[in-house]
Structure 1
Amino acid sequence: MLGFEVDPLNLPAWLRRTRGEHRLPVAVAIAALIALQLAMPTHLAFQPRYLLPALEAAIFVVLLIANPVRITRESAHLRPLGLALVAIASIATLWSGWRLASGLIDGALGDEPVAVLLKAAAVWFTNVIVAALWYWEFDRGGPAARASGRNPYPDFLFPQMTAPELAKPDWEPTFVDYLYLSFTNTTAFSPTDTLPLSRWAKMTMLLQSASSLVLVALVIARAVNALQ
């Protein structure tokens, strides 16, 4: 399946049951996401501006109570809650992105370059975090499912999977890996070292790259127009 021999008695960590990844990295990312949403200018934020961040925070508290240190516990309720959190964050990001694009096109954001860049950067960073959460939540069924090791078919092919001799024996993808994947996909507009395998992964990366490309193009066009 993977193009190399796997010793059933010495499976790499990402193929077997593990103790689960630490909660801290994704907690920091969600806190940063909520902070960015709250700091978003009024004309870019979903209204009422505290509604979606409050819902995200409430859901995350429940998830944190269920898996406070390491993400291993699965249930019929936790999975939908995790997906709901990312869906709510996606709504906020899509709204801000649409408002930003509209403002760049009609000039409603003003001509102050620093202010425009800061607004665009805030939307861009939320896009990176939200996409990383989607990748993290869906790859092989999510973090808890990956910790159980029951699904051997990855949605993303990380370099450590094809070259296990270069990875530590306990390596498995964690949120930081998906954040890096999201960041590089947003900046390079294409996969870099990690390849999407499933159709949903390919389409999600396509949408993320396209949205980032449109945003960058609009910011550049606005900057050129301001210099004229």
Structure 2
Amino acid sequence: MTPTLPAWRRATTGERRWPVAVAVLVVAGLQLTLPDEVVIGSRWLLPVLEIAVLAVLLVATRFETEPVWRRTVSLALTALIGVANAVAAVRLVIHLVEGRGGDDPGPLLATGAAIWATNVIGFALWYWQFDRGGPTARARGDREVPDFWFPQMQSADLDPEWEPQFVDYLYVSFTNATAFSPTDTMPLSRWAKLVMLVQSAVSLATVALVVARAVNVLR
């Protein structure tokens, strides 16, 4: 008898959008806490725009089918979050290096934490958007070779109905941002390795500079 393919290798009903929607709303909330010195334009501009784009994407509840326009808008939203957070991180680093601001450790740590958390969610969205062609391609089982090798993929006996969803990519992003290296999930493709490298570098720079400045102020 032919063994049944695990869920991640065959067509399935796909995953629901609400975890992604919650993540984007969290990002919008974190951006509202950032000081004006590090944000692009008004602190309300990007959160309002992101929520508006999210509302468009929530027209569909699953990922079995996805028109080109929705895929494009979804990637644009992810890029918007990434660029906005990169600008905030760079501006914060410049301010700290030049000795401008950062005289109060409380707000400084809060700003650093918001940028770091947004970094985790933003890169989770990138991993989720591009692994094996994205959520729709994964739901259809279009690509057999994964970009990320999860532990559940090593043996179908663990859970034959398992397939990666956004929470799994969020976990990968969190562990990469804290350990500065892969943990239980290995990147296989070159793009995945390079993106994880960039995330680790951003996370390390943010944590190191913010904590160092806060410790210096406290002393």
Provide the TM-score with structure 1 as the length reference. 0.91
Q: Percent identity?
A: 55
Tell me if the contact between 2:121 and 2:170 (Cα under 8 Å) persists in the aligned partners: yes
Q: Deviations over 1:110-135 (max 9, x none)?
A: 32212111110000000000000000
Give the 4+ runs in structure 1 shifted more than 4 A. Answer: none
Query: Whole-Å Cα distance in 1 between the matches of residues 104 and 44 of structure 2?
Result: 27
Distance 2:47 2:2 in 1: 45
Instruction: Give the Cα separation in 2 of the matches to 1:92 and 1:8.
Output: 49
Amino acid of the structure 1 residue aligned with 2:174: F
Tell me, yes or no, if the aligned pair for 1:74 and 1:145 is still in contact at 8 Å.
no
Which residue is equivalent to 1:64? 58
Per-residue Cα deviation, 1:5-58 (whole angstroms, up to 9, x for no partner)? xx8540000000011112111111011011111222211211133332232222
- Aligned equivalents of 2:173 and 2:86: distance in 1? 16
Aligned residue among 157, 162, 174 for 1:171: 162
CA distance in 1, matches of 2:191, 2:83: 19
Tell me the CA shift for residue 227 of structure 1.
4.1
Q: Per the alignment, in what secondary structure is the counterpart of residue 157 of structure 2?
A: helix
Alpha-carbon distance in structure 2 between the residues aligned to 1:162 and 1:172: 12
Counterpart CA distance in 2 for 1:221 and 1:202 is: 28
Aligned position for 2:15 = 21
Residue 200 in structure 1 maps to residue 191 in structure 2: yes
Decide which moves more: 70-79 or 48-57: 48-57
Matched, 1:189 2:175: no
Distance (Å, rounded) in 2 between the aligned partners of 1:106 and 1:63:
41
Q: Are residues 1:211 and 2:205 paired?
A: no
Counterpart Cα distance in 1 of 2:139 and 2:23:
20
2:39, 2:88 within 8 Å by CA — same for their partners in 1? Answer: yes
Displacement of 1:169 in angstroms is 2.0
Correspondence 1:39-188 to 2 at 5 A: 39-65=33-59, 67-68=60-61, 70-166=62-158, 168-188=159-179
The equivalent residue for 1:4 is none
| C-alpha distance in structure 2 between counterparts of 1:90 and 1:8, whole Å | 44
Matched, 1:35 2:29: yes
**Partners of 1:212 and 1:8 in 2: how far apart?**
46
SS at match of 1:193: coil
User: Residue 105 of structure 2 contacts residue 218 of structure 2 at CA under 8 Å; is this kept in 1?
Assistant: no
Instruction: For structure 2, list consecutive stretches of 5 or more residues without a partner in the other structure.
Output: none
Query: For the structure 1 residues 8 and 156, does the alpha-carbon distance in structure 2 shift closer, same or farther, using more than 3 Å as the test?
Result: farther
- 2:53 and 2:186 mapped to 1: Cα distance? 31
For 2:173, the aligned partner's letter is: S
Q: Measure, in 2, the Cα distance between the counterparts of 1:149 and 1:162.
A: 17
After TM superposition, give the deviation of residue 77 of structure 1 in Å.
Answer: 1.1
- Pick from 197, 211, 217: which aligns with 1:220? 211
